[in-house]
A and B are shown apart, each in its own frame.
Chain A
């Protein structure tokens, strides 16, 4: 089996994988980074979004071997160095941007990519950007509120 070496959340890690092993499977099953979730088999749901060399990628659409030498960022590496929630994560908690938590890793990774590209997105830009991330629980209201708040803007519907 091929060996793939990646820098994941700043740490070099390697794994033996089959040629057909997806990056999502390698992260979850070989490297035990189960924060990245798999919700579908057609690259529609977005629960598996990670950053590959700084860009958001659905980890189920990429073979693990394609990530050789890449810098991968996952949900496990998002908190502050002291373990506290980062500003975006904190905004999700403050604005009830999650319920079951299954889409949350992908949402956080997509949202952080959005804010890197566009630090003060409009509400419609937020909604457009999340088109590839499905949440079945929240109706997206808390998520949109959280991202607007994390970018220092007013929330569209005040949280209770």
Chain B
């Protein structure tokens, strides 16, 4: 291995610019002659727009143009990326999502007009001067009420508020029902997976530019996947040909899912830039982020677990109401279905699984994939009901999990929820966890807590997730409207340095450091000579972006394949240079040699020869040394883990303090263990935030009560314990060249049930009969549960 290759905890090169204030985020760009956009947004959740009077706004100082929904009535809608079918085979309801609301406003914050002015302040002042006559209707907020009552609708043109009623696997419904009916023990739990606001620290920002000389458009925007944004704008919304539109996603202050999607503001600034002939810039305020970024989670679930009396699992059955908000965001339909239902067998050999998901339109912001995206919801339901079952049957929570684990000799394992797990070792993870978290010492720690009057509890969890989304042929059958490969070009320049153009976007994941580790390792060269290019559709072949912990598993595999092609071509050139047959040439540590001779030539010399092809077999080998690979995965990857959390509950106040959080994960091959640890720790913080602090709350009128960082409790440094992570207990992924699985979401998936299990354990050990507390487990909720 080259120094700093695969497995090295290399310090991140991108850190230097971020630590010195030299990062370039979207809002840091101010093109010459920039004008500024501000939006008029609905203050009611559900309303009919009678008229929008823009005359006063147009007369305000500095105003260049005012746009309303009428101006975009003929423009295409922003589509859902997946078509989901109902249980009866009919397709889901798919209302148009316009650039600007037209006819109706459907959630607080829904933009119905936009002003462009010389300055931001002028645009904001003028946006406030727009007079909209809007008839307010009752808001559709509660999901079950929304389904029961089709008189009050989010979309008047639809018959009701049910987007789809999905069954997985529908053919298994009857056998699952029968298995549960015949089972000796059934544990039932109703739970809420609380609605979250992603709150990437950098608000969304979009800058549209248009060059009237060439007809070229440029969109600088906060996007986790600039090519998908370009595709949606080109093919569905504005019809700008892809070769006339560059989407540039520069440094980005986090995404967590909320910046996967195309938003109307992006189309607005592009359209306005064309009509004004000037750059148009919009940056969200944090208030706009709360109101309009796609939210996460928001499931209401009833889960049943049928078991033998010895704890052997017989069946899981769920009924879930999943909020999709007012419009279908791009991944909103796949998140509660194929990213959720397919994981409902967990790490277990359970033979029967049936999942029913009813997706519901409400007068709230769109809900879409947020860190984990469906898998946290699956894991939460499973691991909570398993814990409840263990308590009912008086079985140790670790023992009941081990009893039902898929065993190492069972791979590939066909789960009852329709996936084929390729590798894993859940018992080994649990063994590791028991040591790392010192579970043997828990009783002593509990006694010590009790001396201080505190109730200590231990929560355990196992999770599996599906990453590296996904085989295009498979997802096509399941309703995806895009392929889910990724692409990379490896360009070896004449003097031997390398640029790698990748479809994945880095916004905290450290691709600029980790991807060069892979290339350098394969070529036996210094990683410092490899540079990553990302986030610009004009420079990169194609890409499906960063989400679903897919960057290394899918794009990294494309990098690997492209580098293999480089080695293959370089070997031919080296063979010519050494007057040998190519099959006698070996390549190690950056040097080509001919077997049985002392001939050798360095990689850099081969690169130079490729670009200065004198004495070169030009009939057989093209000059240049640049290769592209598109990699389409053969399967999902399946990271898994075992987590432990210890909490103290204050019996006087109900306040929960996390004493320890330990994560033992299997991510397959680890390229940069420092980066992987950071990814897990960040995920743990978001999961702990969900469990204890975060909650997006709408009142019955559809007003977002937790609409600022004053009201929405983000985890702060003093809310969190030290986060202990370990990923040394790995099994390789069997179907991608690096053996990697993906680590970006694990912490956010595994931690919420672990924390809740710990709190419930603390209360039950104290003799309190509390079966469940919904997240976030605020002091008020915990105290109420203790004093019911």
Residues of A in contact with B (beta carbons under 8 Å apart): 18, 20, 28-29, 33-42, 44-45, 47, 74-76, 78-79, 85, 89, 92-94, 96, 98-105, 108, 124, 126-128, 130-131, 133-144, 156-157, 159-160
Which residues of A sit under 8 angstroms from B252, Cβ to Cβ? 100
Which residues of A sit under 8 angstroms from B676, Cβ to Cβ? 160
Interface residues of B in 384-414 (CB under 8 A from A): none
A141 touches B714 (CB 8 A): no
- CB of A153, distance to nearest CB on chain B (Å): 14
CA of A96 to CA of B514 in the docked complex: distance in angstroms? 13
A96 touches B675 (CB 8 A): yes
Q: A34-B28, A85-B19, A94-B11 are in contact. List 17 more A-B contacts (CB 8 A).
A: A34-B21, A34-B25, A41-B285, A78-B20, A79-B20, A85-B16, A89-B20, A96-B678, A101-B19, A102-B23, A102-B254, A126-B717, A130-B718, A135-B201, A139-B682, A140-B720, A142-B678
CA of A130 to CA of B685 in the docked complex: distance in angstroms? 15
Interface string of B1-16 (1 = CB under 8 A from A): 0000000010110111
Q: Which of B25, B287, B678 has the most CB of A within 10 A?
A: B678
CA of A156 to CA of B722 in the docked complex: distance in angstroms? 7
Which residues of B sit under 8 angstroms from A144, Cβ to Cβ? 717, 722
Which residues of B sit under 8 angstroms from A44, Cβ to Cβ? 708-710
- CB of A135, distance to nearest CB on chain B (Å): 7
B682 touches A18 (CB 8 A): no
CA of A95 to CA of B720 in the docked complex: distance in angstroms? 18
Q: Is B256 an interface residue (CB 8 A)?
A: yes
B717 touches A140 (CB 8 A): yes
Q: In the complex, what residue of chain B is closest to A132 when comparing beta carbons? A: B716
The 5 closest A-B pairs by CB, nearest first: A35-B21, A102-B253, A101-B18, A139-B685, A99-B508
CA of A156 to CA of B715 in the docked complex: distance in angstroms? 19
On whether A101 and B14 interact (CB within 8 A), knowing A131-B716, A131-B717, A160-B676, the answer reads: yes
B724 touches A93 (CB 8 A): no
Which residues of A sit under 8 angstroms from B747, Cβ to Cβ? 139
On whether A103 and B20 interact (CB within 8 A), knowing A42-B286, A93-B15, A98-B15, the answer reads: no
A100 touches B19 (CB 8 A): no
CA of A108 to CA of B285 in the docked complex: distance in angstroms? 23
- CB of B440, distance to nearest CB on chain A (Å): 21
Which residues of A sit under 8 angstroms from B285, Cβ to Cβ? 41
On whether A139 and B254 interact (CB within 8 A), knowing A29-B30, A96-B675, the answer reads: no
Q: Is B446 an interface residue (CB 8 A)?
A: no
Q: Is B684 an interface residue (CB 8 A)?
A: yes
Q: In the complex, what residue of chain A is closest to B726 when comparing beta carbons? A: A160
Sampled A-B contacts (16; CB under 8 Å): A35-B21, A41-B286, A45-B709, A75-B19, A100-B507, A102-B23, A103-B253, A134-B201, A134-B716, A135-B201, A139-B683, A140-B685, A141-B681, A141-B723, A142-B681, A159-B677
On whether A100 and B717 interact (CB within 8 A), knowing A85-B19, A137-B508, A139-B682, the answer reads: no
A137 touches B682 (CB 8 A): yes
Which residues of B sit under 8 angstroms from A157, Cβ to Cβ? 722-724
Q: Which of B20, B686, B715 has the most CB of A within 10 A?
A: B20
B710 touches A98 (CB 8 A): no
- CB of B198, distance to nearest CB on chain A (Å): 8
Which residues of B sit under 8 angstroms from A75, Cβ to Cβ? 19-21
Q: Is B478 an interface residue (CB 8 A)?
A: no
- CB of A77, distance to nearest CB on chain B (Å): 9
Q: Pick the residue among B20, B199, B715 that contacts A35 (CB under 8 A).
A: B20
On whether A39 and B202 interact (CB within 8 A), knowing A102-B254, A140-B717, the answer reads: yes
A45 touches B21 (CB 8 A): no
Q: Is B673 an interface residue (CB 8 A)?
A: yes
- CB of B259, distance to nearest CB on chain A (Å): 11
- CB of B124, distance to nearest CB on chain A (Å): 11
Residues of B in contact with A (beta carbons under 8 Å apart): 9, 11-12, 14-25, 27-28, 30, 121, 199-203, 251-254, 256, 285-287, 507-510, 673-679, 681-686, 708-710, 714-718, 720, 722-724, 747
- CB of B361, distance to nearest CB on chain A (Å): 29
Q: In the complex, what residue of chain B is closest to A93 when comparing beta carbons? A: B15
CA of A87 to CA of B341 in the docked complex: distance in angstroms? 49
Which residues of A sit under 8 angstroms from B714, Cβ to Cβ? 134, 136
A45 touches B201 (CB 8 A): yes
- CB of B528, distance to nearest CB on chain A (Å): 15
Q: Pick the residue among A36, A40, A99, A134 that contacts B682 (CB under 8 A).
A: A99
CA of A103 to CA of B285 in the docked complex: distance in angstroms? 16
Q: Which of A45, A74, A89, A136 has the most CB of B within 10 A?
A: A136
CA of A31 to CA of B12 in the docked complex: distance in angstroms? 29
CA of A20 to CA of B685 in the docked complex: distance in angstroms? 37
CA of A104 to CA of B253 in the docked complex: distance in angstroms? 10
Q: In the complex, what residue of chain A is closest to B673 when comparing beta carbons? A: A160
CA of A143 to CA of B717 in the docked complex: distance in angstroms? 9
CA of A137 to CA of B677 in the docked complex: distance in angstroms? 12
On whether A101 and B251 interact (CB within 8 A), knowing A157-B722, A157-B724, the answer reads: yes
On whether A131 and B682 interact (CB within 8 A), knowing A45-B709, A100-B201, the answer reads: no
- CB of B717, distance to nearest CB on chain A (Å): 4
B681 touches A139 (CB 8 A): yes
Q: In the complex, what residue of chain B is closest to A92 when comparing beta carbons? A: B19
Which residues of A sit under 8 angstroms from B681, Cβ to Cβ? 138-139, 141-142
On whether A134 and B709 interact (CB within 8 A), knowing A45-B201, A93-B11, A103-B201, the answer reads: yes
CA of A97 to CA of B451 in the docked complex: distance in angstroms? 36
- CB of B750, distance to nearest CB on chain A (Å): 13
Q: In the complex, what residue of chain B is closest to A44 when comparing beta carbons? A: B709
B16 touches A101 (CB 8 A): no
Q: In the complex, what residue of chain A is closest to B711 when comparing beta carbons? A: A42
- CB of B668, distance to nearest CB on chain A (Å): 16
- CB of A103, distance to nearest CB on chain B (Å): 5
- CB of B77, distance to nearest CB on chain A (Å): 30
On whether A33 and B21 interact (CB within 8 A), knowing A96-B678, A124-B718, the answer reads: yes
B254 touches A100 (CB 8 A): yes
Which residues of A sit under 8 angstroms from B709, Cβ to Cβ? 40, 42, 44-45, 134
CA of A94 to CA of B253 in the docked complex: distance in angstroms? 20
- CB of A23, distance to nearest CB on chain B (Å): 15
CA of A44 to CA of B285 in the docked complex: distance in angstroms? 13
CA of A96 to CA of B9 in the docked complex: distance in angstroms? 10
Which residues of A sit under 8 angstroms from B27, Cβ to Cβ? 28, 34, 38
A76 touches B718 (CB 8 A): no
- CB of B587, distance to nearest CB on chain A (Å): 30
Q: Pick the residue among B22, B25, B682 that contacts A37 (CB under 8 A).
A: B25
- CB of A15, distance to nearest CB on chain B (Å): 15
Q: Pick the residue among A76, A100, A108, A127 that contacts B253 (CB under 8 A).
A: A100
Which residues of B sit under 8 angstroms from A38, Cβ to Cβ? 27, 203
CA of A18 to CA of B677 in the docked complex: distance in angstroms? 46
Which residues of A sit under 8 angstroms from B708, Cβ to Cβ? 40-42, 44
CA of A140 to CA of B686 in the docked complex: distance in angstroms? 11
- CB of A123, distance to nearest CB on chain B (Å): 8
B717 touches A92 (CB 8 A): no
CA of A28 to CA of B30 in the docked complex: distance in angstroms? 10
Q: In the complex, what residue of chain B is closest to A143 when comparing beta carbons? A: B717
On whether A85 and B722 interact (CB within 8 A), knowing A99-B678, A101-B15, A134-B201, the answer reads: no
